[in-house]
Amino acid sequence: MSGAVVADLRRTVAELHGELIRNGLVAWTMGNISARVPGRELIVIKPSGVGYDELTASSMVVVDLHGTVVEGELSPSSDTATHAYVYRAMDWVGGVVHTHSPYATAWAAHGVAIPCVLTGQADEFGGDIPVGPFARIGGEEIGVGIVETLTGSRSPAVLMRSHGVFAIGASARDAVKAAVMCEDAARTVLLARTLGELTRLEQADIDALYDRYQNVYGQR
């Protein structure tokens, strides 16, 4: 069942974990990335408890959309049930990232959404970065909270209360970008708050910025 597509995704997902380190989003092994195999009911995900330096294409685990291992020698990430739930519930999602990145997790610890006070956040998130409910680790509760919070939201990232960040994207790379931008917004807005009260951007400006960035910005 392997095939070139799965082999490519194994390499991509293994390599993307380097971005979590380079962007300061993870401590020890506390962060994970997965990707959906296009057109298949399969996910490529990080193995549990393996250091980022040791991650290779062949150490990645392939699971089905219920988290059952299909291919791979190691156990999948302990967050696999959460990733799998998100893929089952959100057809368009091709990548999921989870981190406890420090600034965003500080907001999650307070259960406070990151207010949209900067154009960069309007571009990327189209508004506040929302807070999801507290959920115990282990079952599908976290996945349910993520899906409930992000369905109908423009934000590709959610601050799960007292836990950390889950980010989604059409691809694993997009989800990693959302996790990086979420941490960036969390850090800058926290710094800005130390200088005094903040004013949220006007909704019309947020809408215009989001539309331009999503539809016009970059190379077409």
Q: Where are the alpha helices (DSSP H) in the chain?
A: 3-22, 80-89, 102-110, 119-125, 141-150, 172-193, 203-215
Nearer to Zn ion, 26 or 116 (CB): 26
| 83 noted as active-site residue | no
| 174 noted as active-site residue | no
| 213 noted as active-site residue | no
CB of 117 to Zn ion, least distance (A): 27
Residues 6+ apart with CB under 8 A from 179: 20, 25, 97, 99, 101, 157, 165, 167
Scan residues 136-175 and list those touching Zn ion (CB under 5 A): 164
| 66 noted as active-site residue | no
Dihedral sign, Cα of residue 117, residue 121, residue 126, residue 128: negative
Nearer to Zn ion, 118 or 142 (CB): 142
CA–CA gap between residue 202 and residue 191 (Å, rounded): 21
Nearer to Zn ion, 156 or 164 (CB): 164
Q: Which of 98, 103, 128, 210 is catalytic?
A: 98
Q: Which of 8, 123, 174, 207 is catalytic?
A: 123
CB of 162 to Zn ion, least distance (A): 10
Nearer to Zn ion, 7 or 30 (CB): 30
Residues 6+ apart with CB under 8 A from 24: 101, 102, 183
Radius of gyration of the chain (CA): 17
| 98 noted as active-site residue | yes
CB of 79 to Zn ion, least distance (A): 6
Q: Nearest to Zn ion by Cβ — which residue?
A: 164
CA–CA gap between residue 187 and residue 200 (Å, rounded): 16
Q: Which residues are catalytic?
A: 98, 100, 123, 163, 217
Residues that bind Zn ion (CB under 5 A): 164
